[in-house]
Structure 1
Amino acid sequence: MRPYRVLVVDDEPDFLETLVRRLERREIPARGAASGKEALAVLETEPCDVMILDVKMPGMDGLEVLRVVKTRWPAVEVILLTGHASVESGIQGMELGAFDYVMKPCKLADLIPKVEQAYERKLLRERAGPP
């Protein structure tokens, strides 16, 4: 099933670095972005299959980023991380097209299967073609 590309977006540097490093140790190519604007700039030049996106960030929050991603790169599957945000933010994100949401802090053992499921969904949609 691999390799798929993951973009992790979080404004907490330690969390971001750790998650990217732990994904790469499991042979999942990952890249980090410290803000919503940085994530959008990365997507302009580097495609990704799955985005792990923090909801609560200064400036452009995760829901705003999700709206842009689903408009410009609809094939990217997005998993929201809700920490300081509420479950309502996760549900709102699902309504905007997110694949799923995970409460922060999360265990990598719980996150990786969601990433794999999101990638499988992306592949199924690509095979099915446009609606």
Structure 2
Amino acid sequence: MENGLNTRVLLVDDEEDFLAVLAQRLEARNLTVSKATCGEDAVDIVEKKDFDVIILDMSMPGIDGLETLKRIKLGHPDAEIIMLTGHGTIQAGIEAMKLGAEDFIEKPVDIQELMEKIKDAKQKRILVLQKQSKEEIEKILKSKSW
């Protein structure tokens, strides 16, 4: 993923300045970035568009990061989600992982660390999609009476 080719990322954070700067930093590394400033918008966007990785803030007004994580995972159980927080607690991180988050990172974000986590999450997503494709092909082959 050195050049970020075909990596689609959704950033979700209510701090608009932070969101803009992080999006710009990821786009400079050739990632395709979409943004949402609240959990409700993130859930709607995920219903309409496919992402390799979702970077989701824990603390937001309206539905918080954990509730947003639950809602996204409900419709997209294979979504790769990295939780992001400025006030991280071990308990919140454990809860996020139990709900299906791929990883957890604290603000201020170290861009190299985030890029590594994005790379790992995308590789995991590719493996999941390959497995699903293989299973689908096997299912089709079994259903045909050649």
- Taking structure 2 as the reference length, what is the TM-score of the superposition? 0.84
On the 8 A contact 1:35/1:60 being kept in 2, the answer is yes
- 1:14-93 matches, within 5 Å, as 14-93=17-96
Deviates more, 1:76-85 or 1:60-69: 76-85
On the 8 A contact 1:56/1:85 being kept in 2, the answer is no
Q: Using the alignment, how far apart are the partners of 1:82 and 1:88 within structure 2?
A: 13
Could you list the runs of 4 or more consecutive aligned residues of structure 1 that deviate by over 6 angstroms after TM superposition? Answer: none
On the 8 A contact 1:82/1:89 being kept in 2, the answer is no
Question: Which AA in structure 2 matches 1:90?
Answer: G
Q: Using the alignment, how far apart are the partners of 1:78 and 1:101 within structure 2?
A: 9
Question: Which AA in structure 1 matches 2:55?
Answer: I
Question: Which AA in structure 2 matches 1:66?
Answer: L
Q: Using the alignment, how far apart are the partners of 1:88 and 1:82 within structure 2?
A: 13
On the 8 A contact 1:82/1:90 being kept in 2, the answer is no
Instruction: Give the gaps of 5 or more residues in structure 1.
Output: none
- Taking structure 1 as the reference length, what is the TM-score of the superposition? 0.94
Question: Which AA in structure 1 matches 2:123?
Answer: E
The alignment's C-alpha RMSD in Å is 1.2
Instruction: Give the gaps of 5 or more residues in structure 2.
Output: 136-146
Question: Which AA in structure 1 matches 2:111?
Answer: L
Deviates more, 1:1-10 or 1:48-57: 1-10
Percent identity, aligned pairs only, is 42
Question: Which AA in structure 2 matches 1:116?
Answer: K
- The structure with the largest alpha-carbon Rg is 2
Query: 1:53-94 CA distances to partner (integer Å, 9 max, x unpaired)?
Result: 000111100000110111101221000012124221111100
Secondary structure, in 3 states, of the residue corresponding to 1:58?
A: coil
For the pair 1:122 / 2:133, whether they are aligned, the reply is no
Question: How far did 1:44 drift?
Answer: 2.0
For the pair 1:99 / 2:102, whether they are aligned, the reply is yes
Question: How far did 1:128 drift?
Answer: 1.9
Question: Would you say how many aligned residue pairs link Structure 1 and Structure 2?
Answer: 130
